[in-house]
C-alpha cells in the first residue's frame, strides 16, 4: 500500500511531535491549528520542517488518515463532514487542567474515543498515539527489531483498520500492540497503568491483561455493569 | 556572555530530623533562604504560586516584600505568576510596590500555570485559560508602558485613562513569559518581545532547541530585538552525585506519585529517575555534575539564565541550604568558567 497522506489536527505539543515522526518516516504530512493556517505556519516550518499547513477542513479533506491532536474538550469543533469516510486516529485525552472539569469526558462507562466516534459516525475512529508522553514519543522512535524499542497501544473495532494503524505505528518507530476495541480503549486513558507509560511490547500486553483487576479497571467494570452507556452524539 | 543563576521555590514544606515544618515556619524559612542565596552569590530568587497543602507560596508579593527588606542586592521575582487568575491591576500595584521596596530588584515570570488550583479558588473557568491569559497579558503590558491606560475586554472591568501608583520604574520591570512547551506560547512571548523562560521538567531538555529556534524566528518576524532565553528546572546539589540522587528521590518520588494519582499518569520508577538524572530534565548531583549539565544547556538551548527549583515537599532543611550554598559558590562560578573557556576556544 502506498504511504497515505497524514493529516494532523492540532499544532501543539503532541501534534508537532507526531508531525516530526511521520515526516521522518517519509510521509506527506499536513497540519492544522485551531485557527487560520497562517497562524501556525512558522511553528510548522521550524518545528516540523517538511510538513505542510492547512485549515482543519483542508487537512481533513486532503489527508487519508487524520490524527486528532487537539484538546479533547474541543472535539465538537472537529470538521465532521470533511472527515466522512476517513480513518481517524484519536490521540486525545481528557486532561482537566486544559479541558476544565467535565463529567461527560470522565464518565467511566464510556471511552472518550467512543464519544469521538459517536460525533463522527461516518468516520472510522481508532485510538492511537495517546498514552505515551509526548517527550517519550519524541525521543523514542527506533527501527523495527531494535533492542529496547518502545510499544504503543492501539484500539479499534475493525481488523483492517487496526492493521493499517499498526503499520503506521511501526513505520514511525514503535511496536504496535492492539489492546482491544474502541470500548476497551479506556485502558489507554488517564487513570490506567498505560497512561504515561513508556514500555516495551510485553509490558504493554501485561498492563492490558492486568487492567480489569486494577482499581481503575474495577471501577470501570462496576460503572458499566450498573448502567451501560448507550451512546449517541453529543 | 553574562550568565544569570537563579533559585526558585514553591514554598515546599520541609522536614528537619523527621519533623515536618509548619506553614508559618516554612514562610519564615523562605526569607532565610533568600538571604542565604544572596550571600552565596545567586543572582535571582523567585517564588511560585500554588494553592495546596505542602506549598506556602500563595502570596508571592508578600513573601518577596519580606525578602526585599532582608536582602540588599539579589533580584526578586516569580516563577511563575498565574496571570490568568490574577488581576493585572492588582499585580501592577504589588510589583511596583515591591520594586520600590527593593530599590529596583523586582521582576516577574508570567505564565498560564501547570498547577491550576487557582481557577476554582478565584472563580475562573479552566476552559477559558487561553482567553484569560491573552487579555490579561495585553492589559498588564499596557499598564507597564507607564502611559495612562484605556482598556476594555471580557476578563475584568474596563479602564479609562487610568494611571496606577506607585508608578513602575520607566520601561517596567523585567517580565518573562514562562512556557511549558506549547509553540503558541512561545510565539506569544515573541509577539510581546518578552524574554522566554522554558520550564523543562521531564525528558531531554535538548528537545526544546526547536522552541528556541521558533522563538528567535518569531522575534524576527515581529520585528522585535533579541531577548534572553532562560531555563527553569528541578534539582538538588550535594557533596556527591550519590548523596544528591538519594536525597532527592526520597522526597521527589512521593510527590510525583501524588501528582500522577491526580492527573492519572504512570508513577516513576527508580530506573526512569536515574535516566532523568543522566540525560533528562533533573539537575541533581554534585556541583561539578550540575555545572557541566547547565553549561551543556547554554550550548544546546542557548540559554543565558538558569533557575533551579531546589525544594520539594519533605526535603530536609539542611539539603536545601546545601543546594543553595553549592549552587552559588561552586556551580555558578564553574558554569561561568566553562563558558569562558569555550568562548576562548570558539
Closest to B112 measured CA to CA, from B52, B64, B184, B203: B184
Between A234 and A184, the higher pLDDT residue: A184
Q: Output the 3-class SS for chain B.
A: CCCEEEEEECCECCEECCEECCHHHHHHHHHHHHHHHHHHCCCEEEECCCCCCCECCCCHHHHHHHHHHHCCCCEEEECCEEHHHCCHHHHHHHHHHHHHHCCCCECEEEECCCCCCHHHHHCCCHHHHHHHHHHHHHHHHHHHCCCCEEECCCCCCCEEEECCCCCCCCCCCCEEEEECCCHHHHHHHHHCCCCEEEECCCCCHHHHHHHHHHHHHHHHHCCCCCCCEEEEEEEEEECCHHHHHHHHHHHHHHHHHHHHHHHCCCCCCHHHHHHHHHCCCEEEEEHHHHHHHHHHHHHHCCCCEEEEECCCCCCEHHHHHHHHHHHHHHHHHHHHHHHHHHHHHC
From B126, B184, B221, residue closest to A96, measured CB to CB: B126
Hey, what's the cell of B69? 527588606
Residue of B nearest to A136 (CA): B203
Q: How many residue pairs from chains A and B have C-beta atoms closer than 8 A?
A: 75
To the nearest whole number, what is the mean pLDDT of chain A? 93
Q: What is the DSSP letter of A188?
A: G
Residues of chain B neighbouring A112 (CB-CB closer than 8 A): none
**What pLDDT is attached to residue B202?**
85
Instruction: Label the pairing between strands B15-16 and B19-20.
Output: antiparallel
Complex ipTM: 0.88
C-alpha separations of A115 from A162, A186, A189, B112 in Å = 19, 11, 13, 28
Backbone angles phi, psi at B3, to 5 degrees: -130, 130
B318 at interface of A, judged by CB pairs closer than 8 A: no
Residues of chain A neighbouring B116 (CB-CB closer than 8 A): 97
Q: What is the DSSP letter of B12?
A: B
Q: How many other C-beta atoms lie within 10 A of the C-beta of residue B304? A: 17
Name A50's Cβ contacts closer than 8 Å, sequence gap at least 6: A23, A29
Name B163's Cβ contacts closer than 8 Å, sequence gap at least 6: B148, B149
Hey, what's the cell of B138? 495585553
From B126, B213, B263, residue closest to A100, measured CB to CB: B126
Question: In angstroms, rounded to a whole number, what is the distance separating the alpha carbons of residues A78 and A57?
Answer: 9
Between A96 and B150, the higher pLDDT residue: B150
**What pLDDT is attached to residue A233?**
44
**What pLDDT is attached to residue A234?**
44
Question: In angstroms, rounded to a whole number, what is the distance separating the alpha carbons of residues A34 and A18?
Answer: 17
A179 at interface of B, judged by CB pairs closer than 8 A: no
Produce one character per residue of A78-106: b if its CB has 16 or more CB atoms within 10 Å, e if not.
Answer: bbeebbeebbbbbbbbbbbbbbbeeeebb
Q: List the alpha helices (DSSP H) in A123-173.
A: 134-139, 159-171
Backbone angles phi, psi at B226, to 5 degrees: -55, 140
3-class SS of residue B231: strand
Name B193's Cβ contacts closer than 8 Å, sequence gap at least 6: B219, B222, B224, B225, B227
Hey, what's the cell of B114? 501547570
Note the pTM of the prediction, 2 decimals. 0.92
Hey, are the CB atoms on A196 and B260 less than 8 Å from each other? yes
* Torsion sign (Cα): B241, B246, B248, B252: positive
C-alpha separations of B303 from A2, B60, B197 in Å = 43, 25, 9
Under the banding of pLDDT at 50, 70 and 90, the label for residue A96 is: confident
The CATH class that applies to domain A6-226 reads alpha beta
Residues of chain A neighbouring B264 (CB-CB closer than 8 A): 189-192, 195-196
Contact between residue B179 and residue B110 where contact means Cβ atoms under 8 Å apart: no
Residue with cell 506556602: B56
**What pLDDT is attached to residue B167?**
95
Best mutation target among B203, B212, B224 (most A Cβ atoms within 10 Å) is B203
Residues of chain A neighbouring B203 (CB-CB closer than 8 A): 133, 135-136, 138-139
Contact between residue B32 and residue B72 where contact means Cβ atoms under 8 Å apart: no
Q: Per-residue confidence of chain B (346 residues) as pLDDT tens digits?
A: 589 999 999 999 999 999 999 999 999 999 999 999 999 999 999 999 999 999 999 999 999 999 999 999 999 999 999 999 999 999 999 999 999 999 999 999 999 877 788 999 999 988 888 899 999 999 999 999 989 999 999 999 999 999 999 999 999 999 999 999 899 999 999 999 999 999 998 889 999 999 999 999 999 999 999 999 999 999 999 999 999 999 999 999 998 888 888 877 877 889 889 999 999 999 999 999 999 999 999 999 999 999 999 999 999 999 999 999 999 999 999 999 999 998 766 5
Residue of B nearest to A39 (CA): B184
3-class SS of residue A33: coil
**What pLDDT is attached to residue A34?**
86
**What pLDDT is attached to residue B230?**
97
From B126, B217, B264, residue closest to A42, measured CB to CB: B217
Share of chain A above pLDDT 70, in %: 97
Hey, are the CB atoms on A42 and B214 less than 8 Å from each other? yes
Q: What is the DSSP letter of B14?
A: -
Residues of chain A neighbouring B114 (CB-CB closer than 8 A): 97
Q: What are the structural domain ranges in chain A?
A: 6-226
From B184, B204, B211, residue closest to A12, measured CB to CB: B184
**What pLDDT is attached to residue A231?**
63
From B213, B214, B263, residue closest to A190, measured CB to CB: B263
Question: In angstroms, rounded to a whole number, what is the distance separating the alpha carbons of residues A118 and A161?
Answer: 17
- CA of B217 to nearest chain A CA: how many angstroms apart? 8
Q: State the number of CA atoms in the 13 A half-sphere of A43 facing the CB.
A: 29
Contact between residue B57 and residue B31 where contact means Cβ atoms under 8 Å apart: no
From B127, B184, B203, residue closest to A139, measured CB to CB: B203
Name B223's Cβ contacts closer than 8 Å, sequence gap at least 6: none
Amino acid at each position: 500500500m502506498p504511504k497515505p497522506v497524514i493529516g494532523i489536527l492540532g499544532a501543539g505539543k503532541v501534534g508537532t511531535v507526531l508531525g516530526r515522526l511521520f515526516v521522518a518516516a517519509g510521509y506527506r504530512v499536513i497540519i492544522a491549528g485551531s485557527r487560520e493556517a497562517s497562524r501556525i505556519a512558522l511553528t510548522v516550518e521550524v518545528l516540523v520542517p517538511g510538513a505542510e499547513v492547512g485549515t482543519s477542513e483542508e487537512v481533513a479533506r486532503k489527508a487519508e488518515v487524520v490524527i486528532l491532536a487537539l484538546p479533547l474538550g474541543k472535539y465538537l469543533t472537529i470538521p465532521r463532514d470533511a472527515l466522512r469516510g476517513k480513518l481517524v486516529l484519536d490521540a486525545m485525552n481528557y486532561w482537566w487542567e486544559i479541558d476544565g472539569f467535565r463529567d461527560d469526558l470522565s464518565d467511566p462507562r464510556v471511552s472518550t474515543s467512543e464519544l469521538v466516534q459517536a460525533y463522527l459516525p461516518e468516520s472510522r475512529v481508532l485510538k492511537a498515539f495517546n498514552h505515551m508522553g509526548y517527550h517519550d514519543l519524541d525521543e523514542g522512535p527506533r527501527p523495527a527489531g531494535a533492542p529496547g524499542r518502545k510499544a504503543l497501544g492501539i484500539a479499534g473495532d475493525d481488523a483492517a483498520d487496526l492493521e493499517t494503524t499498526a503499520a503506521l505505528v511501526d513505520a514511525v518507530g514503535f511496536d504496535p500492540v492492539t489492546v482491544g476495541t474502541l470500548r476497551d480503549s479506556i485502558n489507554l486513558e488517564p487513570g490506567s497503568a498505560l497512561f504515561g507509560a513508556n514500555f516495551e511490547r510485553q509490558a504493554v500486553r501485561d498492563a492490558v491483561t492486568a487492567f480489569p483487576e486494577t482499581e481503575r479497571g474495577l471501577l470501570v467494570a462496576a460503572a458499566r455493569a450498573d448502567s451501560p452507556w448507550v451512546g449517541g452524539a453529543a | 556572555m553574562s550568565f544569570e543563576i537563579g533559585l526558585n521555590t514553591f514554598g515546599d514544606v520541609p522536614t528537619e530530623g523527621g519533623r515536618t515544618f509548619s506553614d508559618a515556619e516554612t514562610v519564615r524559612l523562605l526569607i532565610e533562604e533568600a538571604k542565604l542565596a544572596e550571600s552565596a552569590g545567586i543572582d535571582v530568587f523567585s517564588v511560585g504560586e500554588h494553592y495546596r497543602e505542602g506549598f506556602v507560596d500563595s502570596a508571592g508579593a508578600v513573601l518577596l516584600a519580606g525578602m526585599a527588606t532582608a536582602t540588599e542586592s539579589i533580584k526578586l521575582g516569580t516563577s511563575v505568576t498565574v496571570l490568568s487568575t490574577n488581576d493585572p491591576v492588582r499585580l501592577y500595584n504589588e510589583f511596583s510596590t515591591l520594586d520600590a521596596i527593593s530599590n529596583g530588584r523586582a521582576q516577574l515570570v508570567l505564565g498560564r500555570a501547570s498547577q491550576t488550583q487557582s481557577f476554582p479558588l478565584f472563580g475562573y473557568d479552566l476552559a477559558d485559560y487561553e482567553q484569560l491569559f491573552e487579555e490579561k497579558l495585553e492589559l498588564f503590558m499596557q499598564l507597564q508602558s507607564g502611559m495612562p491606560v484605556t482598556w476594555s475586554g471580557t476578563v475584568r472591568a474596563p479602564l479609562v485613562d487610568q494611571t496606577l501608583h506607585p508608578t513602575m520604574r520607566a520601561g517596567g520591570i523585567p517580565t518573562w513569559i514562562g512556557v511549558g512547551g506549547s509553540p503558541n506560547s512561545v510565539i506569544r512571548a515573541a509577539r510581546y518581545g518578552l524574554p522566554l523562560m522554558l520550564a523543562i521538567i521531564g525528558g531531554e531538555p535538548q528537545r526544546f532547541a526547536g522552541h528556541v529556534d521558533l522563538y528567535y524566528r518569531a522575534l524576527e518576524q515581529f520585528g522585535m530585538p533579541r531577548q534572553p532565553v532562560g531555563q527553569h528546572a528541578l534539582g538538588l546539589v550535594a557533596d556527591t552525585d550519590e548523596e544528591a540522587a538519594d536525597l532527592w528521590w526520597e522526597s521527589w518520588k512521593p510527590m510525583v506519585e501524588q501528582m500522577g494519582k491526580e492527573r492519572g499518569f504512570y508513577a516513576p520508577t527508580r530506573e526512569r529517575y536515574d535516566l532523568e538524572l543522566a540525560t533528562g530534565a533533573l539537575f541533581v548531583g554534585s556541583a561539578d555534575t550540575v555545572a557541566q549539565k547547565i553549561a551543556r544547556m547554554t550550548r544546546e538551548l542557548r540559554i543565558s539564565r538558569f533557575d533551579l527549583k531546589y525544594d520539594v515537599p519533605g526535603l530536609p532543611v539542611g539539603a536545601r541550604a546545601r543546594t543553595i550554598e553549592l549552587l552559588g559558590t561552586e556551580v555558578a562560578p564553574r558554569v561561568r568558567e566553562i563558558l569562558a573557556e569555550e568562548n576562548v576556544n570558539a
